[in-house]
Structures are given as structure tokens and as C-alpha cells.
Structure 1
């Protein structure tokens, strides 16, 4: 398992067979979904099945996306699952303010004695506006990202590029809060691997790191897009070699100017490359 996850594979909580396959699919994190993937009349069963699964530690970190915090199921999900030994994190949908995170953390502490890692999904205009406040709401919060399907509906955005400002906003907020770079939201067409790859390349350029998936066939595409290329690795090694040979800034033969910021980026590239 990578210390920095690149792939987050969703599986419906009311389908234990699908969850079992997801755990063996090679994702860095499996996200058991109790929200959008589960019909209302299956919510209680999905919660119980997930609690049963997480009675024991799992071979892959397992996060659970609970139901909406303001609805009838979300608080019960947190209370039931927070104490589970096999739980590695809770993903909180439709977070719109810091108080949403604090409320879940307090409920989790009451049930568990301490909160599991929390991850906030920003899926409305208000949530995006409060991105940094959400990212710094509680010490248990370990990450923020977008829920793009709901955000598109809220904003009335039709073209993919219409979400780029929101994407950049979340990347900056995460960095300002000292959190890991956010993972991209899912690519909903599991057959469109070319589109997925192009979207991942775009996401990487915007500062995202890794991506959520809804089918195992998407995992290798995401990995290829987010792992450094051989050329990027070679360039990073040249940068660090040059930096070690001199105290000040300098230019490489190819014209690359090496200073502290470039050295930091090179270290980040090689750290990720070593997770292949």
C-alpha cells in the first residue's frame, strides 16, 4: 500500500460480494458507499453489512462514505461505524460548512473514544466557498475533495472546464491547510478510458493527486496518469544531482533553472516514483 494513495475504488455497501471483489482489485483504498449507491430501502442493510465487514482489519484500507449528515441515515452511520476496528476513514458527503465536520467528529468521538480520519466532499457552491474553513475545521480532517456530479447540478455547469475554478480552489485550500493534495472525483463512464486518461492528465496539471474510481478497469489508467514518467524521473534526478554539487541556483544544460522550489518538486517526483 502506498503511503500516498492514488486510487480510491468505490463499492456499494449493500453488495458484500462487490465489496469483496473491490478489496482484491488492487486499489490503494476501497470506499464502501452507503450514500448514492444504495437505495433508501437498503440503507439499514448496507450499514449492518458494512459494520460486519469492519469488525476485523482488512487487507486494504477501507473508508466508508456515509449518508448525508442532515438526513435520517448519516448520524446513524457514523455512530454504528466509527468504532469499527477495520475502519480507516469516513468520507462525509455534501459538507457545506466547518460545523458539519465538527458535528461528525464529536459524534465519532462519543462512539469510538476518538475520531477516525475524516474526508470532506464539497458538492455545492457553498461548500466550495468554505473550502479552507472546512479544511481546517477539526484535527481529524485529513482531506477535502469535490463531488463533481452534485456540484455540476448545483452550479448548472454543462462543460467540464466550467468546474476548473472550483477544482483549483480545492487544491489551494488543501495546501493552505497543510493537507495532502485532493484526489479527483470519479469519471462516470467506465467504458471511456481515453476520456478518463485525458481527464486525469488535466487533473494532474491542476494539482490533484490520484482519483476515485467506480470500476476496477479504471485503476491502471489512473495510476499511469499520476505516476511520474521515466522522463520526469530522469529530470528530477538531474536536478537533485546538480543541487548537490552546488550551493546556489544554477541552470542545467537543457535550460532548466534549479532553485529551491525546483528541488522541492524533484524530491516530490522521486518520492512518488518510488511507490511504483
Structure 2
């Protein structure tokens, strides 16, 4: 399973100065975007900029979001990605079938494929897509999905969001990251939305500006109380193991079950991740 990432930062690849700043940011992953953030007239320039940007940041966690296969730019985008270092992964929009993933891998090779589900057909096939060889994560492209479904606000996507969480878990993938929050002036709304997503099972979120990163980090990191409770669970299990007992009991007398241990270790894993400096 791929490691958990709390922040992913989109940046248009044709805006080279902004892309360099993004690569130097504390984002867990930088997504060099060739798709929605790039105007049609700038598609070629964006594609041509990616190899140099990647070369300037060796070791940086980078994904390249390509244009969909049905567009005039999709094939050239994938051919460019195929020439990048293997550690650079590809983010593919509008995926609807496992065959879509296979077609991408035929071009880009064994690198990780991060899938965006953006249509009703994609949602219906979410588990099959998530289970396809090479898929490292799945996420929702909520603007396109909302348009496809004809829903008027985020509440109309609640079932799709939960479906994605279930599909990722069933396929053995990391929990999905949330889609972008587009209102840069509403940090409180971003934080509240992240907390709602965390309750649904999402971990982390994509951002469109570096100022959003700290808000996302704070919303998805476990609280001090959560960490204390998780440590109690793990300590009880360790104490039972040392005593040769198969039964672990918390200080208040509650028995510890397998689900509690798994959740506790997930909380501690998130808490131990490097923090955002801002």
C-alpha cells in the first residue's frame, strides 16, 4: 500500500515560476498539471516544461496530471510522462474502466497510476478501477462529476464520496484524498469541509494554493486526545503480549478488539508524519 499523504498541491505546468515555488513547498506531493489549470493554447508549453521541472527537483514526490485520452493532448502527454524518471507518477482524469488504466500503463510503464473518477460510469466501476494493476490511489474530480450528475452542491456527492472510500479500502489502496476546495478566501470553510471528509474516511486533500496546506494538515492530524487514546490501546496490547495473554484491557476495564488496534495504529501513523512548518 502506498504511504499516506496529507497534502497534494496542484500547479499549472506552464507557469514555471509558480511550479518551482510549489516544488519547494512543504506539500506532500506536487501535481504538475497539464489539464484543467492549463488553457488549450498553453498545453504544448506546459508539456514541454515538465521534464526540466522534474529534473530540477530530484527526489521530490511528483505526479503529472495528464489530459484525458479523448482530448487532442492526451496521447502526447502520456508519451512525455513515459520518458520521465520512474518515480514520477501519473494522475489520470476521467477514468471509467480498468481498461482505461491498462491503456495508460501500456504507454507509461510500471510507474504508479493515480486515478480520478469524474463520471457516473466511473463511480459505478470504482472498485474495478481501484483494483486494476498499477493503480496507487483513486480520487474524485468533483466539479466534473457534479456536472455529469446534475447535482447543485457538494451534498449531492455524499454517496459518491462514501462509495470511493469503500472502493479504495476493498481494493487495498490508501484512503482517498479529498478534492480541491476552490474558495481561497474561505479557510474556515476549508477546515470544516476537511473535518467532514475525515469523518467519511478520507485522509488528506488536494490544494490549489500553498496557503491551504497548513489548514489541511491541521484538519487531518489527530488531536492530542486521539493520540492519547491510541497510545493507551497499543500499550494495553503490548502489556498483554508481554504477559502471555491474548486479552488486552484498557485502564477503565474495556476490552481491546482487533478493530480498535488497527484504528489506533492508523492514528499514531498520521500523528507521526512530518508536520507542516506553517
What SS class does the counterpart of residue 258 from structure 1 fall into? coil
Correspondences of 1:56-135 after superposition (within 5 Å): 57-85=57-85, 88-109=88-109, 115-135=110-130
Correspondences of 1:27-42 after superposition (within 5 Å): 27-42=27-42
- Offset at residue 242 of structure 1 (A): 1.7
Contact 1:184 1:212 in 2 (8 A): yes
Residue equivalent to 1:165: 159
What SS class does the counterpart of residue 5 from structure 1 fall into? coil
- Offset at residue 83 of structure 1 (A): 1.8
Distance in 2, matches of 1:92 and 1:70, equals 12
What SS class does the counterpart of residue 121 from structure 1 fall into? strand
What SS class does the counterpart of residue 233 from structure 2 fall into? helix
Residue equivalent to 1:112: none
1:156 to 150, 153, 161: 150
Contact 1:55 1:86 in 2 (8 A): no
- Offset at residue 254 of structure 1 (A): 5.0
Give the number of aligned pairs: 269
Normalised by the size of structure 2, how large is the TM-score? 0.92
Distance in 2, matches of 1:185 and 1:96, equals 18
Bigger shift: 250-259 or 86-95?
250-259
2:175 to 174, 177, 181: 181
Distance in 2, matches of 1:251 and 1:55, equals 52
- Offset at residue 251 of structure 1 (A): 5.5
Bigger shift: 189-198 or 83-92?
83-92
Residue equivalent to 2:191: 197
Structure 2 unaligned residues grouped into runs of 5+: none
Residue 143 (1) aligns with residue 137 (2): yes
Distance in 2, matches of 1:88 and 1:107, equals 14
Distance in 1, matches of 2:23 and 2:56, equals 14
Distance in 1, matches of 2:254 and 2:147, equals 43
Cα distance per residue 1:222-258 (max 9 Å; x no partner)? 0011111111110001111122233345653557542
- Offset at residue 215 of structure 1 (A): 0.4
Contact 1:90 1:118 in 2 (8 A): yes
**Structure 1 residues 123 and 150: alpha-carbon distance in aligned structure 2, compared to 1, 3 A threshold:** same
Distance in 1, matches of 2:254 and 2:9, equals 38
Structure 1 unaligned residues grouped into runs of 5+: 110-114
Residue equivalent to 2:229: 235
What SS class does the counterpart of residue 38 from structure 1 fall into? coil
Contact 2:239 2:248 in 1 (8 A): no
What SS class does the counterpart of residue 70 from structure 1 fall into? coil
